[in-house]
Amino acid sequence: MTLPTAPVPMTTTELLARLVAFDTTSRNANLPLIGFVRSYLDSHGVPYRVSYDPTGQKANIHAIIGPQEAGGMALSGHVDTVPVDGQDWSSDPFTLRAQDGKLFARGACDMKGFVASCLAAVPHFQARAYKRPLHLFISYDEEVGFGGARRLIQDLTESGLKPALCVVGEPSGMKPVLAHKGKVNLHVTVKGRPGHSSEPGKGVNAIYAAAAAIGWVRAEADRLAAEGPFEDGFDPPHTTIHVGTVEGGSILNIIPEQAAFTMEWRNIPGDDPMRHVARLQAHVAATIEPAMRAIDPSCGFSYEIALDMPEMGLPADHELASVVKQVTGSNSTGKVSYGTEGGFYQNAGIPSIVCGPGHIAQAHQPDEWIAQSELDSCDAFIRRLADRLLA
């Protein structure tokens, strides 16, 4: 009789080397990496669910160790990365390189390091025989619109296997982050009326109209900085507004018929970003569009929300915050202006916190790196946290 072969243990660094070898830039399919993770989980006898994006080329994994039921705690990480195009790397970005206590590769910090730590801990989790489930979330497209988190939440609703708590392992230097800002991305299109530039009064200059709206945005940024509302702990401590791209026109001697710009709000928790969108629309409707439509009623502005990312805010006295502080040995917690999947999970009724290895300043850069010591700290952290919350 042939006895079943025991799974070969893999360290966090070994698993990270395997994960970064897959080019999971958000424009690419992630199925080869997902296939590797599925084989790894299969070798350890861990059940999981797979959910796909509409193209079928990207997938999430929701694995459960312990009781196959709702409740317990989730450890969450995305495996898509930003591109390496145009960056000056010292070595192959998809081959893990160790030097002076640092591990270099695309995604090593953001955030395959955390995912590798979670996978390496699977034998520990299984040996502990927890009374409550340990969920592993591995998602796609965090860098380009959070499609994976949205799909994963849909799958949680369908399966009824929603965890009670979630730790998102974005790089935070292993310090607990209780809150982050929300974000709304808005694409604004302006329709004017073309004409010869020698007769400007017979046309409607779409670039002028866009510029007038952008001028209001600049003034609104100053108003928010001066008037708030404010929340201590954020840098800056208020909602921000920003225009990032502008385009319009065709050639110099034609009154531009089209213009467009993209902008964003990053709102502190409790400050509804849609009220800010409504303020912009009201200003445009009252002060810019009337003159445009007096010449041509078909002229005006149109708006498309490209991203609506909810903020995250965990109360400082929540059980999850208290335990994470104790396990990490941190006397303080933080708030950040960038966003994570934690806002989506919290919005779905799963209290969430951010705590993971590495630092955000090391991410998205050429020669992205994570310290081996940070991974070692993460290994200890997730094991102790699970023991505290699930045993």
Catalytic residue ranges = 80, 142
Hey, how many other C-beta atoms are within 10 angstroms of the C-beta on 148? 29
Extended strands (E) in 66-207: 73-78, 97-99, 102-104, 134-139, 165-168, 177-180, 182-191
Burial of 321 (0-12, 13-18, 19+ CB in 10 A): middle
Tokens representing residue 347 in the block: 């919005």
As a whole number of angstroms, the distance between CA 255 and CA 266 comes to 34
Separation of CA 257 from chain center: 36
Sheet architecture: strand order including 369-371? 97-99, 102-104, 369-371
As a whole number of angstroms, the distance between CA 162 and CA 155 comes to 9
Residue 390: closest CA among 13, 26, 133, 127:
133
As a whole number of angstroms, the distance between CA 150 and CA 28 comes to 19
Tokens representing residue 356 in the block: 């993971």
